[in-house]
A = this chain, B = another copy of it.
Amino acid sequence: MNQKLYFTPGPSELYPTVPQHMHTALEQKIGSISHRSQQFKDIYARAVTGLRQLLQLPDNYEVLFLSSATEVWERAIQNTVQQRSFHLVNGSFSKRFREVAIELGRDALKYEVPFGQGFDVDSIQVPADTELLALIQNETSSGACMPVADINLFREKAPGTLLFVDAVSSLPHPALDYTKIDAAYFSVQKCFGLPAGLGVWLVNDRCVSKADIILSSGCSIGSYHQLPAMVQKSRENQTAETPNVLGIYLLAQVLEDMNQKGIEAIRKETDEKAALVYTYLDRNRTFSAAVVNPQHRSPTTIVANTTVPASEVNKQLAAFDLTVGSGYGNYKENQIRIANFPAHSPEQMQQLVNKLDELFG
């Protein structure tokens, strides 16, 4: 029996109801049902409806299930960019999205600030002919986030550009204004507290139209995950391939639980837990918030500089069945990352902070 509490930034703690849902899935033999059956279509529809409700998604958006957020990057470029994308880069994942565009042969420009910094939106000019602008709402590697109010400024700056929002490790927390963007995406192993194996792509009609235009111009937009075909399948509560049926089932179940709790309660609890952690980071001897500007500090992936190596922090926490994330990449040892997801209860977060305080001052 593993009693460890995972504050790692995803995979992380499972949402508390997941074990029970998994037992029910086994009893109902969800792993054996056909992905072409009405039973699966009903599960798919429940997952989509649950997300629409939780995120208050407008009707011109579609919900698509892919295998990972990494796949979403590739499909986004394939389906909506012929020549030029433009990427705000301030960490490893925003950087990687741009690399995907380059690997697919696109002219992928960037506006870069140092790792762990947010953006001063006023100073950003979106280059002419930018087809896709990659906004990084929550940079999982560095813990820098972009306030929703800042995201909302880009529509006017670049009305003809498709605005893609990386909210991989933050949704459903940010109250995005979906009328001011064109797509957002997340992974279920972050804030939805599920086993990894699904990336979710929220995508509006402007993106689908762009894919149609590229396709009719005779260019390839991929094969089984062409955006217009995915949308068509999705409206039938279907996928082209045999999908991660169990993952979609668990997502549908957890969404019902989250909707029962209510999005406002989830956001409030997340903010309170974040305040607890950041307050501790401000007053202790070992750690300090890595993102300097409080406006740019992520509520869901909290990154701290540490004077004790991250491996040593986790070694000491392990004795108490607690674990946090190490820093990302070059920051592996001199930063820690603390996930603050809906699966982490206020009591668990208090327990972590108390123990960090006790061990490291």
Contacts and interface: CB of A to CB of B under 8 A. Distances in A.
Interface of A: 1-2, 4, 6, 8, 10-14, 18-19, 22, 26-35, 67-71, 73-74, 77, 99-100, 103-105, 187, 189, 194-197, 220, 222-224, 226, 240-247, 325
30 contacts: A1-B28, A4-B32, A8-B34, A11-B33, A12-B32, A13-B32, A14-B31, A18-B31, A22-B22, A22-B26, A31-B195, A35-B196, A67-B68, A70-B242, A71-B224, A73-B223, A74-B222, A74-B223, A103-B220, A103-B223, A103-B226, A104-B222, A105-B220, A189-B242, A195-B246, A196-B243, A196-B245, A197-B243, A197-B244, A197-B247
A27 B105 CA distance: 45
Given A67-B197, A71-B241, 5 more contacts: A6-B32, A70-B224, A70-B241, A73-B223, A197-B245
Which among A8, A28, A32, A67 has the greatest number of chain B C-beta atoms within 10 A?
A32
Nearest to A99: B223
Given A33-B11, A187-B242, A245-B11, A104 B223 contact: yes
A218 to B, nearest CB: 9
B74 A67 contact: no
Contacts of A2: 27-29
B242 A74 contact: no
A241 B198 CA distance: 11
Nearest to A19: B26
Nearest to A226: B103
A221 to B, nearest CB: 8
Given A6-B29, A13-B32, A196-B35, A67 B241 contact: yes
Given A68-B241, A241-B70, A197 B196 contact: no
A5 B26 CA distance: 13
A10 B73 CA distance: 29
B1 A27 contact: yes
Nearest to A6: B32
B103 A222 contact: yes
A73 B241 CA distance: 11
A207 to B, nearest CB: 18
Contacts of A241: 67-71
A191 to B, nearest CB: 14
Contacts of A104: 220, 222-223
Contacts of A68: 67, 241-243
Contacts of A70: 224, 240-242
A327 to B, nearest CB: 12
B11 A242 contact: yes
A240 to B, nearest CB: 6
Contacts of A196: 31, 35, 242-246
Nearest to A240: B70
A22 to B, nearest CB: 6
B34 A11 contact: yes
A246 B196 CA distance: 7
9 nearest CB pairs, A to B? A197-B244, A67-B67, A70-B241, A31-B195, A68-B241, A103-B223, A100-B223, A6-B32, A195-B246
Contact of A32 (B11, B22, B27, B197): B11
